[in-house]
């Protein structure tokens, strides 16, 4: 789990299976801003136009720790935070 969280600070791509649902988490740097995004991949969510990720945040790169901390604290997993739901997750490849 520590490796998973460490990778979030650098925008590493992460795949997670939680209760049969596959999620994709990725980040990037553009124009000195750090963005972190989480999407549901399988089963594919209902088509929404325009595209809207399940969770996203952008801040200046030097505040990327705030982005990661906000992601970890968000109740994205049936009302649970990442740390509360982590034991029910499986780290998977795409």
Kindly report, residue by residue over 5-25, the tens digit of the pLDDT. Answer: 899 999 999 999 999 999 999
Residues pairing with 56 in the sheet:
37
Q: Which tens digit of pLDDT belongs to each residue from 29-82?
A: 999 999 999 999 998 877 766 778 999 999 999 999 999 999 999 999 999 999
Q: In a 10 Å sphere around its CB, with 0-12 CB exposed, 13-18 middle and 19+ buried, how is residue 49 labelled?
A: exposed
Long-range contacts of 27-31 (CB under 8 A, 24+ apart): 27/64, 27/67, 29/61
pLDDT of residue 48: 65
Residues pairing with 40 in the sheet:
23
Does the predicted TM-score (pTM) go above 0.95? no
pLDDT of residue 78: 95
pLDDT of residue 49: 67
pLDDT of residue 93: 84
């Amino acid at each position: 789990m520590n490796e998973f969280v460490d990778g979030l600070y650098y925008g590493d791509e992460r795949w997670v299976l939680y209760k049969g649902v596959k999620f994709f988490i990725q980040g990037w740097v553009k124009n000195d801003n750090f963005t972190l995004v989480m999407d549901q991949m399988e089963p594919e969510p209902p088509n929404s136009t325009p595209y809207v990720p399940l969770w996203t945040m952008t801040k200046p790169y030097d505040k990327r720790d705030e982005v990661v901390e906000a992601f970890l604290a968000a109740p994205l997993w049936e009302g649970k935070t990442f740390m509360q739901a982590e034991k029910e997750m499986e780290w998977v490849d795409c």
